[in-house]
């Protein structure tokens, strides 16, 4: 079940209790762009969709989910069974204790073509990074680039995901992690 949805350019991001997914869309019109501009309500064509799912393995089944910065305009979507569902856009959603002493924060920043989606794991003292395990399905290929971004190849277009920023705080001093 989808809890929250947001979109970023040609990418829809859905948050579920045990993970999240990216859905890319590409519309290929049957008629010319000029005829669509003349009569935009009668555009015909084919919409292609590619979904990439991320499952949080061994995650806390009783996770507390806190949504902040809910946008005024809801999103409606159809389920696989054809039911119309209403959900909210989000600015920030936190999964408290998704793993022991570890929170997961999803952020959607900016608007329009400049919008960005990212997520970060917050490890509190005593957390074990080894507990974080994510299973990805639907990608044709994935690799980490020299820039530190995760490149996900699929049938429609490549997706570049910023690797979560790492740092620690000790004695009120922020220290960047390099490994």
In Å, what is the CA distance from 64 to each residue of 5, 97, 151? 18, 7, 30
Write the pLDDT tens digit of every residue in 69-105: 777 667 666 666 777 777 766 788 999 999 999 999 9
Burial class (CB in 10 A: 0-12, 13-18, 19+), 37: exposed
Is residue 1 within 8 A of residue 21, CB to CB? The reply is no
| Percent of the chain whose predicted confidence (pLDDT) is above 70 | 70
112 pLDDT exceeds 50?
A: no
pTM of the model: 0.75
d(CA 95, CA 102): 9
Q: Containing H/E element for 37?
A: helix 33-38
């Amino acid at each position: 079940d989808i809890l929250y949805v947001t979109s970023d350019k040609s990418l829809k991001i859905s948050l579920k209790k045990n993970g999240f997914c990216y859905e890319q869309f590409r519309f290929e019109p049957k008629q010319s762009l000029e005829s669509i501009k003349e009569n935009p309500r009668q555009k015909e064509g084919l919409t292609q969709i590619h979904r990439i799912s991320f499952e949080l393995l061994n995650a806390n089944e009783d996770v507390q989910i806190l949504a902040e910065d809910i946008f005024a305009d809801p999103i409606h979507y159809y389920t696989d069974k054809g039911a119309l569902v209403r959900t909210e856009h989000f600015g920030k959603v936190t999964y408290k204790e998704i793993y022991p002493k570890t929170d997961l924060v999803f952020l959607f920043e900016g608007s329009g073509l400049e919008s960005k989606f990212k997520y970060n794991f917050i490890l509190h003292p005593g957390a074990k990074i080894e507990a974080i395990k994510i299973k990805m399905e639907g990608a044709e290929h994935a690799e980490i680039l020299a820039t530190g971004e995760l490149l996900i190849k699929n049938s429609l277009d490549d997706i570049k995901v910023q690797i979560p920023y790492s740092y620690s705080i000790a004695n009120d001093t922020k220290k960047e992690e390099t490994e």
